[in-house]
Chains A and B, each alone.
Chain A
Amino acid sequence: MHLPIYLDYSATTPVDPRVAEKMMECLTIEGNFGNPGSRSHIFGWKAEEAVETARKQVADLMGCDPREIVWTSGATESDNLAIKGAAHFYNKKGKHIITSKIEHKAVLDSCRQLEREGYEVTYLDPDVDGIIQPEAVAEAIREDTVLVSLMHVNNEIGVINDIAAIGEITRSKGVIFHVDAAQSAGKVEIDLENMKVDLMSVCAHKIYGPKGVGALYVRRKPRIRIEAQIHGGGHERGMRSGTLAVHQIVGMGEAFRIAQEEFAEEDARLRKLRDVMLDGFKDMEEVHLNGSATQRVPGNMNISFNFVEGESLIMSFKDIAVSSGSACTSASLEPSYVLRALGLNDEMAHSSIRFGIGRFTTEEELKYVIGHVREAVEKLRELSPLWEMYKDGVDLEQVQWAAH
């Protein structure tokens, strides 16, 4: 077992060696280094061929036509292109957008920008399980709604939205539906032939591909139009200019191919590991899994260890890489907006740790982690006045705190 142990797979993943191998073939003079835009020689043709193979690999995993895939620099760019691009193109139709309070910042900040441009945005609340209910979307749609943007799988808590059901609603009302699938591609089945999704953002680095490359799915039937955000050269049918990064794109294609081929096997393995992890904490008092217990991906477990502050807990994990919903790990000193939107009280949000497991996680590693976490929680609870009060039967909600 190697230390430190990486358990932050929701933040990013290591590149699969098979992917790195393919990427390295597209860099040097001996390799496939050409510009896919070069039409006059074999170097360009070969590079273009590699890009088109990757486009098909990505399209295959998503259940769509390769011609519906536009390469970008990552899911953040895809979200920007989808949201601003669709809102701008269809602005004659209306200026109302629907999203949720627990979206990724790439979506929320794109919506904020549109608000500054005069658009109106409705931010839906999730239910206590972290799910955006399709009925809530239906109720929020108005005459002037042009776009609904929701995530497939939440990055902080791993719960899955029913995008097929939401797509039925948006399609019937003639509203464009954008889905941020950065956390779901390769982990949950995506079938764009049957799901009524119009735009979908994905990226490579969450599923063992390289950072710096992503894609936006843009539906052809019925045809969805978007206004380009980056101009120059008219690449990607004018929707996203810029020389294609062949090695990145080839890496993304290979990562998506592997994810599709090994989906069932990997999913089963992660479910087993997830059970090992949750069983390891089952007998502890005041330990809560945040978000729906059933409608979730196995690789993401956001757990609150009540009465222990998240950053202090992470501080004791010298050899374990995880992230926290606690305020203290961020510059803002605000606890996670996602956990708060679920209705968690602030101390539960402050006490949360996100464990992300993935392709290279082993049971041995998890056993080690469980032991360390248990030890640290016990130590910190001995230090915690809140734990002492809880054990003495004091109702912490009734205490008059001197907030600062």
Chain B
Amino acid sequence: MAYSEKVLDHYENPRNVGALDKDSANVGTGMVGAPACGDVMRLQIEVDENDVISDAKFKTYGCGSAIASSSLLTEWVKGKTLEEATLIKNTDIAEELALPPVKVHCSVLAEDAIKAAISDLQSKRSND
């Protein structure tokens, strides 16, 4: 299978790899996928006092397209408000990376990851 240049670029130079303090009140963590399915994505976002995403980190177990989808996502969410971040669609990711149909599920997983991270952040707040 041939990969698009953008997928190769993110695979070779993944952006924002790492972890944020998952116990911090300003950090939301989304972990989606399952090892049995061949991909697990962990996306973490940190927000400032205005609910703007100031930092994002990821780690992904999965194929090159899954790694690229999550790497791209961290670039996209930085600087966005939480509300704006919820509007990111998997189709946008698939289009940007030119994912073939068999890899579209990787972009779906990325969309699930940002939704999960935001919902984690919100549930932390409602518990406070």
A residues near B, CB below 8 A?
Answer: 307-309, 311-312, 315-316, 326-329, 331, 333, 335, 345-347, 350, 382-388, 396, 401-404
The smallest beta-carbon distance between B12 and chain A, in angstroms, is 8
Could you list 10 A-B pairs, sorted by A, with CB under 8 Å? A309-B39, A316-B11, A327-B38, A335-B38, A345-B36, A383-B60, A402-B32, A402-B33, A403-B37, A404-B33
Of the candidate stretches B46-54, B62-70, B73-81, B90-98, the one touching chain A is B62-70
Top 8 nearest A-B pairs (CB, nearest first) are A401-B34, A347-B35, A346-B36, A385-B59, A328-B63, A385-B42, A311-B63, A350-B38
- On whether the beta carbons of A311 and B35 are closer than 8 Å, the reply is no
Contacts A309-B39, A327-B38, A403-B34 hold; do A388 and B19 have CB atoms under 8 A apart? yes
- On whether the beta carbons of A309 and B63 are closer than 8 Å, the reply is yes
Contacts A382-B17, A383-B17 hold; do A404 and B37 have CB atoms under 8 A apart? yes
Which of A311, A329, A385, A403 interacts with B31 by CB under 8 Å? Answer: A385
The smallest beta-carbon distance between B33 and chain A, in angstroms, is 6
Contacts A350-B35, A401-B40 hold; do A383 and B64 have CB atoms under 8 A apart? no
Q: A346-B35, A403-B37, A404-B112 are in contact. List 7 more A-B contacts (CB 8 A).
A: A315-B63, A328-B38, A328-B62, A346-B36, A401-B34, A401-B36, A404-B33
B residues near A, CB below 8 A?
Answer: 1, 3, 11, 14, 17, 19, 31-42, 59-64, 66-67, 102, 105, 108-109, 112
Residues of chain A within 8 A (CB-CB) of B14 are: 383
Contacts A312-B11, A333-B102 hold; do A385 and B61 have CB atoms under 8 A apart? yes
Residues of chain B within 8 A (CB-CB) of A401 are: 33-36, 40
- On whether the beta carbons of B36 and A347 are closer than 8 Å, the reply is yes
Residues of chain A within 8 A (CB-CB) of B60 are: 383-385
- On whether the beta carbons of B38 and A309 are closer than 8 Å, the reply is yes
Please measure, in the bound complex, the distance between the C-alpha atom of A350 and the C-alpha atom of B39, giving whole angstroms.
9
Residues of chain A within 8 A (CB-CB) of B19 are: 388
- On whether the beta carbons of B38 and A346 are closer than 8 Å, the reply is yes
Residues of chain B within 8 A (CB-CB) of A331 are: 102
Please measure, in the bound complex, the distance between the C-alpha atom of A396 and the C-alpha atom of B66, giving whole angstroms.
20
- On whether the beta carbons of B35 and A396 are closer than 8 Å, the reply is yes
Chain A: CB-nearest residue to B109:
A404
Chain A: CB-nearest residue to B31:
A385
Residues of chain B within 8 A (CB-CB) of A385 are: 31, 40-42, 59-61
Q: Which of B32, B35, B102, B109 has the most CB of A within 10 A?
A: B35
- On whether the beta carbons of A386 and B40 are closer than 8 Å, the reply is yes
Please measure, in the bound complex, the distance between the C-alpha atom of A382 and the C-alpha atom of B60, giving whole angstroms.
9
Chain A: CB-nearest residue to B12:
A316
Please measure, in the bound complex, the distance between the C-alpha atom of A312 and the C-alpha atom of B8, giving whole angstroms.
11
Please measure, in the bound complex, the distance between the C-alpha atom of A201 and the C-alpha atom of B48, giving whole angstroms.
68
- On whether the beta carbons of A307 and B38 are closer than 8 Å, the reply is no
Residues of chain A within 8 A (CB-CB) of B105 are: 404
Please measure, in the bound complex, the distance between the C-alpha atom of A308 and the C-alpha atom of B62, giving whole angstroms.
7
Chain A: CB-nearest residue to B62:
A309
Residues of chain B within 8 A (CB-CB) of A388 are: 19, 59
Chain B: CB-nearest residue to A382:
B17
- On whether the beta carbons of A312 and B63 are closer than 8 Å, the reply is yes
Q: Which of B14, B64, B66 has the most CB of A within 10 A?
A: B64
Please measure, in the bound complex, the distance between the C-alpha atom of A331 and the C-alpha atom of B75, giving whole angstroms.
30
Chain B: CB-nearest residue to A309:
B62
The smallest beta-carbon distance between B47 and chain A, in angstroms, is 21
Residues of chain B within 8 A (CB-CB) of A404 are: 32-34, 37, 105, 108-109, 112
